[in-house]
């Protein structure tokens, strides 16, 4: 048996829409098989994982909380990936954004002003952008592989946070636990609709960012530049676009969004700095970006789906006693299926069964 | 045993997995395939090796399990990128994410279970030599394998006919296909060799380096491996040199912490990652030499015309 690909004359519009859905279905099927192998009732497990978290209002709020950083980061990454810049270090930019944004509420603890929160958000975005500027600088001027440099910086950012929290920024009244002071009330990102749950403004930022980037990609010259340079650097050069400037733009932009996501997460959900501030949002956002077909509106939907895997993982851990690692497996599987199903957009797939030639067996 | 010998031994232990995994990736990249999933394949190798050793009671069975796990896991990548021509960068990332998750799940039962350490093999005669006898000839099987792999891969790539074909595919898959060389089949084998090596490197981590299982115990080594291949400009002997350089940095960092230089431990722990970045800058700085050394079809998908 052999699989043959035949290039489609045109990109299949139908499959461009169907393929992420197909990937979702395949992931669910494989998930069911996995649960069965773990000795759990697949129907019950999938229900606990993907349905129950959607049935209660407080739980929907939690979904928005987890989707917000994923969407924010993924929208930035989509700009990067579309322009063929491989920023893999969003997790690090998220961490640095959380640190720079926390500067005011931790160091200037006694400064009470309505200006604190906006300044924090700006500082967070700046921090993320500056941290992303490192791989951008290295790629633009030294031709260094941005995948590796941005990734190495993730480990450096996490160690830096660890040092801060165990050293200068440790809460003096924290019984030696590695946490910072709790943020003062004016440094906390407010809830959107406090009566029903915890969801805070980060989700609104995420939606605004997604719509803004969608508009940019679709209707502005900058968006055209991104797409052209991403498809062919040569063509972009003839059009007068600079791929060097695009490296800077895409990295600073995605870094800023990741940094904003970082400070929003710390300020809105956690309320202080601690050594672990992200369950891998920066890496999961890569899956979100691809599942959303690098389209900001698609990313809103895929961000919600991936947020559901986090939430479902927590729920399944409690109700079924399965490991929370199941979440990561689901996420990895999903990315695999997204990538394989994308083949259907560009190629027709034919399965060729081996033929016997001339009757000789 | 002197302090000097002890430090050399730890450097070797830290360097061996880097050398092995980088050699595997080097072969895959020479065939034109960029597999960013080394971290995932390595951690799968580590958990499989640990599990195999626990169930059988023999670390040698563990090694075989590690190699098999790495090779099988790389098949997923090969199928997606070679048969379904998916984007290699994204698929490699998917492999790493899936590997980190799956290994965490499979290894959950083994957390804080005491491991089985792979024993040393004494080479009679040579092991009695001063200094190098202790350091080089009282090592475990995986160390000897790593040296054999450097020699073997170097011979294969530059002295054998099959190696010539593999390099031809990496430099121009179109021309190689026109000459009748099996592009896809060769790349499948190259990717699986890379997976097997990453699996063996993982086995070293959970059977020699720290004989136990801990989640994410590969700690970014797979990514450092990828940098190492660039550093070595796709040459096996330079992988050996580079691997030992990186291993030395890792150990240096540990010893510096023990001596208490007044530098916070977190900054010392950053050293291997920072060193990777610095090395990448130095290597990539000269655009012309990197272009000459990089396999020309690296990372590009191949679809045969029908």
DSSP letter for each residue of B101-125: HHHHHHTGGGBTPPP-PPPEEE-TT
Q: Cα distance from A202 to chain B (closest Cα, Å)?
A: 26
CA distance A161 to A271: 16
* pLDDT(A355) > 70: no
Q: Considering only residues 280 to 339 of chain A, which have any Cβ-Cβ distance to chain B shorter than 8 Å?
A: 283, 286-287, 290, 323, 325-333, 335-336, 339
* pLDDT(A353) > 80: no
The residue-averaged pLDDT of A213-217 equals 94
- Per-residue confidence (pLDDT) for residue B62, from 0 to 100: 96
Residue A354's pLDDT band, with cuts at 50, 70 and 90, is: low
Residue A358's pLDDT band, with cuts at 50, 70 and 90, is: very low
Query: Which uninterrupted H or E stretch holds A336?
Result: helix A325-346
Determine contact, residues A292/A70, Cβ cutoff 8 Å.
no
- What tens digit of pLDDT does each residue of A148-173 get? 899 999 999 999 999 999 888 888 88
* pLDDT(A326) > 90: no
Determine contact, residues B85/B301, Cβ cutoff 8 Å.
yes
Q: Considering only residues 69 to 98 of chain A, which have any Cβ-Cβ distance to chain B shorter than 8 Å?
A: 86, 88
- Per-residue confidence (pLDDT) for residue B305, from 0 to 100: 67
In order of A183, B87, B144, B180, B191, the CA distances from B185 in angstroms are 58, 18, 29, 12, 10
Higher pLDDT, B156 or A356: B156
Chain B CB contacts of A160 under 8 Å are 266, 270
Determine contact, residues B17/B228, Cβ cutoff 8 Å.
no
Hey, are the CB atoms on A160 and B94 less than 8 Å from each other?
Answer: no
The residue-averaged pLDDT of A276-295 equals 91
Residue A263's pLDDT band, with cuts at 50, 70 and 90, is: very high
* pLDDT(A209) > 60: yes
- Ranges under pLDDT 70 in chain B: 1, 260, 305-306
- Per-residue confidence (pLDDT) for residue B306, from 0 to 100: 57
DSSP secondary structure of B160-228: SHHHHHHHHHHH-HHHHHHTT--HHHHHHHHHHHHHHHHHHHHHHIIIIISSSB-TTTTTTHHHHHHHH
- Per-residue confidence (pLDDT) for residue A73, from 0 to 100: 97
- What tens digit of pLDDT does each residue of B273-305 get? 998 899 889 888 777 777 777 888 888 888 876
* pLDDT(A320) > 90: no
Q: Are strands B120-122 and A347-352 parallel, antiparallel or unpaired?
A: unpaired
Q: B111 φ, ψ to 5°?
A: -60, 130
B182 touching A (Cβ < 8 Å):
no
Residue A126's pLDDT band, with cuts at 50, 70 and 90, is: very high
**Count of A–B CB contacts within 8 Å?**
140
Q: What percent of chain A has pLDDT over 70?
A: 98
CA distance B63 to B207: 8
- Per-residue confidence (pLDDT) for residue A3, from 0 to 100: 78
| Nearest alpha carbon to residue A276 among A94, A128, A13 | A94
Q: What percent of chain A has pLDDT over 90?
A: 48
Q: Cα distance from A270 to chain B (closest Cα, Å)?
A: 23
Q: How many CB atoms are located within 10 Å of the residue A357 CB? A: 7
Chain B CB contacts of A141 under 8 Å are none
Hey, are the CB atoms on B84 and A5 less than 8 Å from each other?
Answer: yes
- Per-residue confidence (pLDDT) for residue B168, from 0 to 100: 92
Chain B interface disruption, residue of A83, A142, A244, most B CBs within 10 A: A142
- What tens digit of pLDDT does each residue of A181-208 get? 888 888 888 888 878 888 889 999 999 9
Hey, are the CB atoms on B270 and A160 less than 8 Å from each other?
Answer: yes
- Per-residue confidence (pLDDT) for residue A249, from 0 to 100: 95
The residue-averaged pLDDT of A271-298 equals 91
- Per-residue confidence (pLDDT) for residue A89, from 0 to 100: 94
- Per-residue confidence (pLDDT) for residue B207, from 0 to 100: 96
The residue-averaged pLDDT of A92-117 equals 92
Determine contact, residues B203/B46, Cβ cutoff 8 Å.
yes
Residue A361's pLDDT band, with cuts at 50, 70 and 90, is: very low
- Per-residue confidence (pLDDT) for residue A359, from 0 to 100: 42
Hey, are the CB atoms on B80 and A339 less than 8 Å from each other?
Answer: yes
A219 touching B (Cβ < 8 Å):
no
Q: Which pair of structure tokens corresponds to residue A38?
A: 């773990």
| Nearest alpha carbon to residue A120 among A240, A205, A208, A18 | A205
Hey, are the CB atoms on A143 and B290 less than 8 Å from each other?
Answer: yes
CA distance B261 to B222: 29
Q: Cα distance from B276 to chain A (closest Cα, Å)?
A: 8
- What tens digit of pLDDT does each residue of A13-72 get? 888 888 889 999 999 999 899 889 888 888 888 888 888 889 888 889 999 999 999 999
Chain A CB contacts of B281 under 8 Å are 138, 142, 144
- Per-residue confidence (pLDDT) for residue B259, from 0 to 100: 76
* pLDDT(A174) > 80: no
Hey, are the CB atoms on A153 and B277 less than 8 Å from each other?
Answer: yes
CA distance A288 to A78: 9
Hey, are the CB atoms on A327 and B101 less than 8 Å from each other?
Answer: yes
Question: Shortest CB distance from A149 goes to which of B86, B99, B277?
Answer: B277
Hey, are the CB atoms on B273 and A152 less than 8 Å from each other?
Answer: yes
């Amino acid at each position: 048996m052999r699989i043959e690909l035949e290039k489609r004359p045109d990109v299949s519009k139908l499959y461009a829409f169907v393929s992420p859905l197909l990937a979702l279905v395949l992931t669910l099927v494989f998930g069911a098989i996995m649960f069965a192998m773990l000795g759990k009732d697949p129907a019950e497990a999938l229900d606990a994982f993907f349905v129950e978290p959607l049935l209660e209002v407080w739980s929907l709020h939690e979904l928005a909380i987890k989707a917000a950083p994923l969407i924010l980061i993924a929208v930035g990454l989509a700009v990067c990936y579309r322009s063929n810049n491989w920023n893999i270090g969003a997790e690090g930019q998220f961490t640095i954004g959380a640190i720079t944004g926390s500067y005011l509420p931790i160091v200037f603890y006694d400064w009470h002003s309505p200006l604190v929160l906006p300044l924090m958000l700006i500082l967070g975005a700046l921090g993320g952008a500056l941290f992303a500027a490192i791989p951008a600088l290295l790629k633009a001027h030294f031709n260094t592989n941005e995948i590796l440099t941005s990734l190495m910086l993730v480990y450096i950012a996490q160690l830096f946070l660890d040092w801060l929290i165990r050293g200068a920024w440790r809460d003096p009244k924290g019984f030696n636990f590695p946490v910072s002071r709790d943020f003062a009330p004016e440094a906390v990102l407010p809830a959107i609709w406090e009566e029903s749950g915890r969801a805070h403004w980060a989700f609104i930022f995420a939606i605004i960012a997604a719509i803004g980037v969608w508009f940019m990609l679709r209707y502005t010259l900058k968006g055209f530049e991104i797409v052209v340079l991403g498809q062919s650097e040569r063509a972009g050069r003839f059009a007068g676009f600079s791929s060097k400037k695009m490296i800077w733009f895409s990295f600073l932009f995605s870094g800023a969004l990741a940094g904003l996501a970082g400070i929003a997460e710390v300020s809105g959900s956690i309320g202080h700095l601690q050594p672990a501030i992200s369950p891998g949002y920066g890496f999961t956002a890569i899956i979100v970006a691809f599942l959303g077909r690098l389209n900001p509106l698609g990313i809103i939907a895929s961000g919600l789906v991936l947020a559901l895997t986090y939430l479902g993982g927590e729920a399944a851990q409690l109700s079924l006693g399965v490991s929370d690692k199941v979440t990561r497996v689901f996420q990895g599987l999903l990315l695999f299926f997204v990538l394989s199903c994308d083949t259907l957009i560009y190629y027709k797939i034919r399965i060729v069964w081996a033929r016997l030639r001339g009757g000789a067996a | 045993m002197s302090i000097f010998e002890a430090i050399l031994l730890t450097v070797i232990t830290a360097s061996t997995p880097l050398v092995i995994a980088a050699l595997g990736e080097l072969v895959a990249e020479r065939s034109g395939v960029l597999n960013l999933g080394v971290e995932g394949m390595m951690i799968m190798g580590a958990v499989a090796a640990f599990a195999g050793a626990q169930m059988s009671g023999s670390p040698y069975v563990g090694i075989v399990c590690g190699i098999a796990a790495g090779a099988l896991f790389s098949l997923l990548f090969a199928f997606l990128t070679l048969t379904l021509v998916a984007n290699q960068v994204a698929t490699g990332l998917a492999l790493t994410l899936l590997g980190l998750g799956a290994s965490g799940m499979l290894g959950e039962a083994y957390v804080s279970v005491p491991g089985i350490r792979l024993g040393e093999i004494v080479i009679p005669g040579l092991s009695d030599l001063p200094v190098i006898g202790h350091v080089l000839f009282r090592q475990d099987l995986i160390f000897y394998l790593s040296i054999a792999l450097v020699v073997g891969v170097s011979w294969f790539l530059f002295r054998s006919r099959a190696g010539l074909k593999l390099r031809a595919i990496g430099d121009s898959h179109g021309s190689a296909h026109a000459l009748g060389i099996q592009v896809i089949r060769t790349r499948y084998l190259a990717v699986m060799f890379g997976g097997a090596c990453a699996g063996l490197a993982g086995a070293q981590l959970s059977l020699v380096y720290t004989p136990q299982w801990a989640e994410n115990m590969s700690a970014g080594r797979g990514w450092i491996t990828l940098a190492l291949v660039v550093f070595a400009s796709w040459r096996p002997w330079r992988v050996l040199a580079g691997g030992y350089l990186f291993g030395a940095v890792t150990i240096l960092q540990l010893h510096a912490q023990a001596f208490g230089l007044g530098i916070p431990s977190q900054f010392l722990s950053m050293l291997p990652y920072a060193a990777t970045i610095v090395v990448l800058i130095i290597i990539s700085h000269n655009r012309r030499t990197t272009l000459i050394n990089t396999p020309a079809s690296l990372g590009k998908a191949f679809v045969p015309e029908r």
